[in-house]
Chains A and B, each alone.
Chain A
């Protein structure tokens, strides 16, 4: 049956047909839909884990019990899960364990573009890379068999253009009949990694990489496509698609097994072609290994090491290196207008519960000094400014105009801990840290424990919108909702903070500016650690709508105070504010009403 599937849908379907019984993940673009699809299968146990390390260990536990398990995450998730990933490599598996990592070259929605292929080599875990949705579907069953045969997790690495691009898949498999898990096998020398048991495991890992390299010589999805033998190209993943399009005449060795590399296959291909190229995104991962085999090959001398590739970039690189001649058609490189186009970055939505806290922080002079006109922060010259360390989520968007409310966003969990470090360094400015509910559950908690234990004075603001909004509204342990969209036990974050030892814990509404301001002022003035949970639902997730507010044109004097909250629903029509009716969520928010000094924003019925 031919279907149009994204890479992520194909991976899930392939895993389902390979008999996966347990799937665990933490959301992260571009990997999220893998677990969302797994959760749609009734006979698969699927969970959003608290974080990626937890997800990896859950998968390993299931595999240890003899069933097939799928773990998925975005590239930086593997940093969080690295300890468990190396652990899994060390102890090996019983049921197959496949770890899918989705990289994001070009950083469409990530904080970096690390190349996770290094993890496969680093952890001595065999790796497969699909180059379209068909392969993503078809390699899953072999991946699980390999995992069991090699007693090792298998890494499947995708990138955004594989995970999210849709292409045609012949879905030709089916779900096998599955019984209960086999009886548990107690095997301390395999699973209890005291040094005396761990030492013999290392040579086993080395042997399995050699064995994998042998198996990969015959791996059915590696493919040689003969064309003109003047130019031979070794490539994998979506880079192969760009290269195929850029050099329709060349010969190709398309690899799905990218660690360990099938060296015989590469040698015999190289021997047949005059010039050999590696086309790969990000680091020269294959290129360096092939060079170390003593084979003359070019790659990063022509193609960029940063960002995404595409057909155009591949062609340009080849032309610059005089590998091909001629001018490239098309490419009206400049935008044909004289004035710079207005940017349209993502924004906090109308009705977003993060906006109130962001606005108050910027008015209280938290965030980068100088971004906001002095007049707007009630500022006599020389007034002190403060520091807001942030985390990763929708609220990170408060870095943009006109809020400019935060000073950092490094990696998940790094808000609380950076603020603590700043304080302990003796930095004079007051600090607050800002993070979302999902992020607090992910890696925020240890930071808060650390703050209490080590006597911090700082304030933690948890923006609780009851969902993981940025990645598309997944459940998490404080949301009360499971991956299968069922009701789930709900962690009470305020109680948790009290249990950790925070005495000053506040739970307030996200839409009451006065209360937010008073609470932040009080908490940042006192000498003890404090937590403020700011609660308000995500309007996108809850599909909140209401009668739009409207500007009373007689009262509006065009002062533009209402623009300071950065609401996309408010624009200016001539010299008066105008609220775009279908965008405004109405009374559930009302921040603009609260900031308008002339009471010019009113309900439709007023």
Chain B
């Protein structure tokens, strides 16, 4: 039996954060665990920050992950990873797409957008288990940049004890059939990237 697992997913409106967390949550449900999820999207369709809390366990009460409580942080954009870091538990696992989506506050109001090194530094203050990968770039090479959301799920899946089949079933159920192939390929690419990272760590 899987112990309690809290996963925070974050990104920018339109990146598919909510769909990815729906896939994760239903994949977990299929295994008989109790699950809850809640999204903070404010008016997110309009390009704002989006976060989704997913909680899996024998019995889940609050749908929200407490600060410092997330076992995993999956972020589809690097600034949003830093913004949500306070929710990650010390030495939790962070999976971060290195892609930058520059907000207007940077272009117009002169805010500083964190460099990739600054992002790594912020992550390392909380955890030594941060994986920063070019997920969007990888998904683009596979044929669809938007498949990065499923690619990161593949990466995450290596750390969770959910049966592979329920991932595949839910990806198919949540996406139109013309997108199945590219997303299944993206999932597998995520799995491989995670296995490679773990191997590298082992060495």
Binding site for B on A (CB under 8 A): 2, 4, 108-109, 132, 161, 164-168, 238, 241-242, 244-245, 310-312, 329-337, 339-349, 394, 397, 401-402, 470, 472, 540, 563, 566, 568, 570-572, 582
Contact = CB atoms under 8 A, between A and B. Distances in A.
A470 B46 CA distance: 9
Given A4-B26, A570-B107, A341 B44 contact: no
Contact of A337 (B38, B105, B114, B145): B114
Given A108-B42, A109-B42, A166-B25, A336 B125 contact: yes
Interface of B: 12-13, 22, 25-26, 29, 34-49, 60-64, 66-69, 79-80, 82-83, 85-86, 88-90, 102-109, 111-114, 118, 121-122, 125-126, 145
A377 to B, nearest CB: 16
A401 B104 contact: yes
Contact of A167 (B35, B39, B42, B105): B35
A572 B90 contact: no
A20 B18 CA distance: 30
B42 to A, nearest CB: 5
Given A167-B63, A337-B82, A402-B108, A344 B126 contact: no
Contacts of A563: 107-108
Contacts of A167: 34-36, 60, 63
Contacts of B85: 332, 335-336
B44 A571 contact: no
B125 A347 contact: no
Contact of A335 (B37, B83, B106): B83
A330 B102 contact: no
Nearest to A108: B42
Nearest to B29: A4
B79 A344 contact: yes
A271 to B, nearest CB: 26
B67 A470 contact: no
B54 to A, nearest CB: 9
A570 to B, nearest CB: 7
A334 B86 contact: yes
A108 B46 contact: no
A248 B179 CA distance: 44
A507 B182 CA distance: 45
Contacts of A2: 29
Contact of A4 (B35, B42, B86): B35
A242 B48 contact: no
A161 B79 CA distance: 26
Which applies to chain A's interface (DSSP): helix, strand, loop or mixed? loop
Contacts of A331: 66-68, 86
A570 B102 CA distance: 10
B107 A238 contact: no
A165 B63 contact: yes
Which applies to chain B's interface (DSSP): helix, strand, loop or mixed? mixed
A343 B105 contact: yes
B109 A401 contact: yes
A582 B122 CA distance: 30
Contacts of A310: 62, 64, 66
A332 B106 contact: no
A342 B46 contact: no
A310 B65 CA distance: 9
Contacts of A340: 111
A332 B47 contact: no
A342 B106 contact: yes
Contacts of B113: 342
A566 B108 contact: yes
Contacts of A332: 67-68, 85-86, 88, 90, 125-126
A546 to B, nearest CB: 17
A473 to B, nearest CB: 9
A579 to B, nearest CB: 12
Contacts of A572: 107
B90 to A, nearest CB: 7
Given A4-B29, A570-B107, A333 B67 contact: yes
B67 A330 contact: yes
A397 B62 CA distance: 32
Given A164-B39, A333-B86, A347-B104, A342 B111 contact: yes
A285 to B, nearest CB: 21
Contacts of B34: 167-168
29 contacts: A109-B42, A164-B39, A165-B63, A166-B35, A167-B60, A238-B63, A241-B61, A242-B64, A244-B61, A245-B62, A329-B68, A330-B89, A332-B86, A332-B88, A333-B67, A336-B82, A336-B126, A337-B82, A337-B114, A337-B118, A341-B114, A342-B103, A343-B105, A344-B48, A344-B49, A344-B103, A346-B47, A346-B48, A347-B48
Given A161-B64, A165-B38, A331-B67, A341 B83 contact: yes
Given A161-B38, A244-B61, A330-B68, A345 B48 contact: yes
A342 B80 CA distance: 10
Contacts of B36: 132, 165-168
